[in-house]
Structures are given as C-alpha cells and as structure tokens.
Structure 1
Amino acid sequence: MVLSDIITAGLQLFLGSASIIAMLSNSLLIGLGFMYAFVLFNVYISKKSQVIQNK
C-alpha cells in the first residue's frame, strides 16, 4: 500500500512538472497533453481509492 502511494505521488509529480516545463518551453500542445494525462490520472486514483474504501 505504501509503495503504491509513493509511485502514485512520483507519477503525479512527473506529469505535473512535465506539463509546466512543456508550457514554459512554448510547446503548448504537449503541455496540454501532459496536463490532460495528469487530470485523468488523478481521476483514476480517486476512483480506485473509493473502490478500496467501499470494500
């Protein structure tokens, strides 16, 4: 459980920082893509944690 939380936090940090770096380097489409992936990943994690809590 703890290891998956660490991996999740690492992926969130990577996706979030990648979107910011891409936007700063004038790659707007790549930045928006990373941000979209970041949002989808967060939605997936929240759904997964709700399923675990419901059991």
Structure 2
Amino acid sequence: MSKVELLAPAKNFKAIKAASDYADSVYFGVEKYNMRMRSENINIKDLWKI
C-alpha cells in the first residue's frame, strides 16, 4: 500500500514555515511562474531562505 503524502500550498515565507511543520511537502509559485496573481510572490533569488 502506498503512503499518503500531505501537500500544502504557500503564498509567502511565513506560510512555508507554518506548512513545513505539519506537511510532507509545500508548493508555491515563483515570480511570474505563479498562477495566483494576488499572492505575495517569492523571488528566485530568495529561495536560499527556505
């Protein structure tokens, strides 16, 4: 039987930190590659903070 994985969305660094406490994986958009136009975009140069 396959293991179930919890995948959580995140719109900013605060949400990434909160989701990483309980989720197996976190997904987010980066700059112009984000489907959610009103989200707080994460810059490619800031990915090292994660």
TM-score (norm 1): 0.22
Higher helix share: 1
| Greater length-normalized contact order (CA 8 Å, ≥ 6 residues apart) | 2
Between structure 1 and structure 2, the one with the greater Rg is: 1
Higher strand share: 2
